[in-house]
Amino acid sequence: MLNMMKTLTACRGISGYEKGVSDKLLMMISPLTDRTWVDPMGSLLALKKGTAPEGERRKIMLCAHMDEIGFLVTFIDDNGFVRVTPIGGINFIAASYATVTFGNGTKGVLVPETGTAPADIKADKVYVDIGAKDKKEAERKVKVGDFCALEGSLTRLCGRRVAGRPMDDRIGCAVLVRIAQLLGETPCRDDVYFVFSVQEEVGLRGARTAAFGISPDIGLVYDVTGTGDSIGAKPMACSVGGGAAIKLKDSSVICDRALAEELAGVAKEKGMKYQFEILAAGGTDTASIQMSGAGVRVGALSIPTRYIHSGTEVLDLNDAEACAALTVAWLTREEKSGGNGTDAEAGAEAE
C-alpha cells in the first residue's frame, strides 16, 4: 500500500487532465482484471468477472476518483508571472507559498500579491512565479490552458500513518487496486467493476456517466472523509486509525441504510475495525452514482483523513487496508438466503 501510494502521489492529474494518473493505474489494474477501457469522459474502468453462471451475477461498481484539485493557467503577464484559476475547492491560504508542478514538469511557486491581507488571499490575488525573466521565457515553459497542482509528496509518520498529497483520492485508488489483488486470491461470484473516475473535485461528474454506462446493482465509493480528532475540529465520531468508515451520509448523499448495516454486520462478524461516518460538509461520487440511470443502491467506505485539501493530508494506511479487507469479506461472504437476499431485505425495510 505504501509503495502504491508513493507511485500514485508522484503523478499530477487535476480534474479534466487525469491522463497521467490513468496511465499509471492502467498498468496496476489491468493484470488483475479481465478487461479495461476508458469512457468518453476519461474515467478508467476495469472488469473482473465473477464466478457465478451468466445471469446470476450482480454488477458491483467500486469507485474512487483519480483527479486532484489544482489550477489552470489563464494568463501570462509581460513579466512572466502566471495567473491561474482554481479547479476544485482550493484553500488559497493553505496553498500560498507552496511549490506547484505543471503537467510538463515545470516547477513554480504560488504566491499572493505583495501586501495582500491573509483574509483577502483569493484566486485573483495570487500568481505563480516560475522564475522566468519575462513573458517570452515563461511562454517557452508554460502556456495558457496548461494545468498545475501543488507538488505531490508522501512522508511516513508514526506507525503506519502518512502525510502528503494528494491523499484525496489516490488512497481510494490504491484501495481499489488492493481489492483487485485480494480478489485474485479469493474470487467472488459477482462481476466487479473498478471505476477510477474523473472530475470528482469539480462536481462529482465522471462517476455519473461511468455509472450510466455500467448500470450497476450496487455502487461503493472509496474516498477520504473528515474526522473529529484534530485540534479545533467540529465534533465528529470518526477518527484516524479507527478503521474503515462506513458512510451513512455526507452533504451530497444519504446512503442505502440496509447496505451500510450489511457492511457493518460483516465487519462485526469478522472482527474488523469499523466506524460509522456522518460527514457534515463535503460530497462524494456516491451521490452521482445513486442518481444515475434509474437509481442505484449505494454505500461508501471512507478513509478518515485530517487536513483534507491542504498540502499535507494525514491518514493511517491501516484504515485503508481495513476498507479493502472489509470489501473483499463482503463480496465473498456466503449468502445465507441466496443471491437476491439483500434486495429482499431492503424491500422489507422499505415497507
Partner 1 sequence: MRMYSGQELVRELSQAFGPSGCEDGVRAFIRTQIGASCDGMTEDRAGNLIVRIAGRGVDYDPAEERRLMVSTHMDEVGFMVREITDEGYLKFSLIGQTDPRVLCGRHVVVGEENRTVKGVIATKAIHMQTAEKRTKATPVNKMYIDIGAKSAGDAEKLVQVGDYATFDSDLVPFGKDGRYIKGKALGGRLACAALIEVIRYLHASSCELAYDVYFAFTCNREIGISGASVAAFTVNPTLAILTGATAVNDLPGVSPEARVAALGEGCVLSLADRQTLYDAGLTRFAARCAEEGGIRYQIKQGDSDTSDGAPLQRSMAGVRTVSLSVPVRYTHSAACVASYEDYQALLNLCKAVICGLKP
d(CA 310, CA 312): 5
Instruction: Out of 23, 34, 56, 77, point to the residue binding partner 1 (CB under 8 A).
Output: 77
Show Cβ contacts of residue 110 under 8 Å, excluding neighbours closer than 6 positions: 71, 84, 95, 96, 97, 98, 99, 100, 126, 127, 128, 150
d(CA 332, CA 116): 56
Instruction: Out of 48, 65, 208, 247, point to the residue binding partner 1 (CB under 8 A).
Output: 208
Q: Which is nearer to partner 1, 81 or 222 (CB)?
A: 81
Asked if 297 touches partner 1 (CB under 8 A), the answer is no
Asked if 104 touches partner 1 (CB under 8 A), the answer is no
Asked if 6 touches partner 1 (CB under 8 A), the answer is no
Asked if 166 touches partner 1 (CB under 8 A), the answer is no
Instruction: Out of 202, 236, 278, 329, point to the residue binding partner 1 (CB under 8 A).
Output: 202
Asked if 80 touches partner 1 (CB under 8 A), the answer is no
Instruction: Out of 47, 109, 153, 212, point to the residue binding partner 1 (CB under 8 A).
Output: 212
With contact defined as beta carbons under 8 Å apart, do 226 and 61 qualify? no
Asked if 89 touches partner 1 (CB under 8 A), the answer is no
Segment lying near partner 1 (by CB under 8 A), choices 48-56, 132-140, 196-204, 336-344: 196-204
Instruction: Out of 106, 199, 225, 290, point to the residue binding partner 1 (CB under 8 A).
Output: 199
List Cα–Cα distances, 205 to 16, 130, 210, 292, in angstroms.
10, 31, 9, 11
**Which of 68, 200, 201, 277 is an active site residue?**
200
d(CA 161, CA 166): 15
With contact defined as beta carbons under 8 Å apart, do 322 and 245 qualify? no
Query: Is 200 part of the annotated catalytic residue set?
Result: yes
C-alpha cell at 238: 470518526
Count of residues in the chain = 351
Asked if 120 touches partner 1 (CB under 8 A), the answer is no
Asked if 37 touches partner 1 (CB under 8 A), the answer is no
- Helix intervals (H) in the chain: 2-10, 19-29, 92-95, 135-141, 167-185, 206-214, 257-270, 285-290, 317-332, 341-350
d(CA 264, CA 2): 26
Instruction: Out of 57, 65, 141, 205, point to the residue binding partner 1 (CB under 8 A).
Output: 205
Residue 131 beta carbon to partner 1: minimum distance, rounded to whole angstroms: 19
C-alpha cell at 209: 456517466
Instruction: Out of 6, 49, 59, 83, point to the residue binding partner 1 (CB under 8 A).
Output: 83
C-alpha cell at 334: 456466503
Contact set with partner 1 (CB under 8 A): 15-17, 19, 39-43, 72, 74-75, 77, 83, 85, 87, 124, 144-145, 199, 202-203, 205-206, 208-210, 212-213
Q: Which residues are catalytic?
A: 200
